[in-house]
Amino acid sequence: MKKEINTLANGRVNLLGEHLDYNGGSVLPLQINRSIKVLLEDNNNTNEIVINSRQYKEQIIITPDFQKQDGWSDFVIGSCKIIANRYNIKISKIIFNIDSNLPIGIGLSSSAAITVSTLRALIKKYNIEVTDEELVDLALQVERDFVKVGGGIMDQFTSIYGKLDSILFLNTLNEEYELIPLLPDYKFIIIDSGESRILSNSNFNQKKSLCEVVAKKLNVNYLCEIKELNNEIQKQLTDDELQIAKHVILENLRVEKGKSFLLQNDYDSFGKLMTESHLSLKNNYEVSTINLDKLVDLANTFGALGSKLTGAGFGGAIVTLIKKDLVHDLKKYIIKYYSNAKFL
């Protein structure tokens, strides 16, 4: 067995398609050059599984039955449990050293990154043959079955299949995907609001459950199977259900339009869709915050082509599309009116 193993997985920013990956829709994420690294080494002192985190400056001992800790370490613990059970492997006497330049809890898929990086380390450690498709499935199992956050496939898929220089178009229902190269004259800038959130402590799972209720009422497996929000459909739904359906159905159409604009190199039109998406997340899906709205307004007032929250919402970051030669001035403008902003 290898004595020391290094792995990493990148985060992602989602440009269009928030809350569609668990509704059978399409998404347009972009892998970013921020990652979570795992250094896996043998524990020569005890039989214990140890997690060391440079960011949190703490050490966690994993119990033999892989008991949850109800924190960030659950993605590591869950990865161990899934690998142990799936491949009938006894995992012990190892140390996970976790390092990261990917901010946690701001909507950049840090949970998928730490899961994928941990799984890659275990796969190398125990010489397991795993395809990329199987790796996506393993990472999903960790999040859904162990951590109990009912997200979709986008984050894991982007971490594994995405590229830094291309936007990923992904149909989450059939997992068909296409990489669309970025134009060098434009930049997607991530701005952290400083308002952190933890999905398991938000009403993320309640939103997902309501989507399932609406889909069942409309006799479809997934809401994104509905292509038009006509009067007949609207009459069947309560006000809350209609708001949810409006975001999901119209956002899926925005993703399809967005893909077309990107292929035509029409970034002006794509930016307008980003702002439309944010307004829907704010008014229909109700997952934005005052701070996220302020940053979107500031960026667009300055002259960005479009801006929106990224990730599930409830805090975190926004992403704004701007011409490359205006990035420096945008940052100065944002800091002037929102001093806590951090740029990635």
Which domains does the chain show, CATH number per domain?
Answer: 4-178 (3.30.230.10), 186-343 (3.30.70.890)
pLDDT digits (tens, 9 = 90+) for 190-247: 999 999 776 555 677 889 999 999 999 999 999 999 999 999 999 999 999 999 999 9
Q: Give the pLDDT confidence score for residue 198 in this predicted structure.
A: 60
Tokens 């398609």 map to which residue? Answer: 17
Residue 155 appears among annotated catalytic residues: yes
Entry pTM: 0.93
Q: Catalytic residue among 155, 266, 268, 293, which?
A: 155
Q: Give the pLDDT confidence score for residue 251 in this predicted structure.
A: 98
Q: Give the pLDDT confidence score for residue 205 in this predicted structure.
A: 80
Which pLDDT band holds residue 151 (cuts at 50, 70, 90)? Answer: confident
Residue 99 CA to residue 283 CA, distance in Å, equals 37
Which pLDDT band holds residue 58 (cuts at 50, 70, 90)? Answer: confident
pLDDT digits (tens, 9 = 90+) for 29-56: 999 999 999 999 999 888 899 999 988 7
In Å, the largest CA–CA distance within the chain is 68
Whether residue 154 contacts residue 27, with contact meaning beta carbons closer than 8 Å, is answered with yes
* Phi, then psi, of 65 in degrees rounded to 5: -95, 15
Q: Give the pLDDT confidence score for residue 204 in this predicted structure.
A: 79
pLDDT digits (tens, 9 = 90+) for 73-117: 999 999 999 999 999 999 999 999 999 999 888 889 999 999 999
